[in-house]
A and B are shown apart, each in its own frame.
Chain A
Amino acid sequence: KNEVEQSPQNLTAQEGEFITINCSYSVGISALHWLQQHPGGGIVSLFMLSSGKKKHGRLIATINIQEKHSSLHITASHPRDSAVYICVVNTGTASKLTFGTGTRLQVTL
């Protein structure tokens, strides 16, 4: 079992839909990151969380440390949101980073 599990692996949505991507982890962490990888390969860091909730535009990320779970929500989805979303956890003081396998999102018109 991977230390970081994401679901779903693939997601197709219509423009305007509310989207949720989940990340569960099995280790103690100091922080969790959500990354977006565009079809061309470029990677953008969306959020860094250690507790609570963060919002940036149409994106919302939450984390529940007790349940070892984080969610990434996209409101009013748009085709330009089509990308792979990757959950990354940072464990311990050694800055060890463990990646989820990613969720491939396709938003259609």
Chain B
Amino acid sequence: DSGVTQTPKHLITATGQRVTLRCSPRSGDLSVYWYQQSLDQGLQFLIQYYNGEERAKGNILERFSAQQFPDLHSELNLSSLELGDSALYFCASSVAPGGQYEQYFGPGTRLTVT
């Protein structure tokens, strides 16, 4: 158990809908990362937050947004969903930003868009 929790575990929704994925980092970790893993794309970095502020952006679509709240949990909002958004979404946390800190991964949320 990494100490990172993600909810929900599974989510099935229809095209055009909006969903929110939630992540609670390990106790003491200030940085949260979001990743998308689709069948044809592998793992991709979406966005990183540190202590409530956006720190780095990867291949995140404009239809997607995220935020980190004062209690350090983070939410990833996906809107106008398309079939291609079906993927595993992982959250990871680390004590601080920067590649020199180990990341701890949550179990992931499996999103299926029908």
Contact = CB atoms under 8 A, between A and B. Distances in A.
Q: Give the size range of A's interface with the partner.
A: 20 to 34
Nearest to A43: B105
Contacts of B53: none
Nearest to B107: A42
Q: Is the interface of B mostly helix, strand, loop or mixed?
A: strand
A96 B98 CA distance: 9
Interface stretch (A11-19, A29-37, A66-74, A75-83): A29-37
A41 interface: yes
A30 B99 contact: yes
A45 interface: yes
Interface in A27-54: 29-33, 35, 41-45, 48, 50
Interface of A: 29-33, 35, 41-45, 48, 50, 86, 88-91, 93-99, 101-102
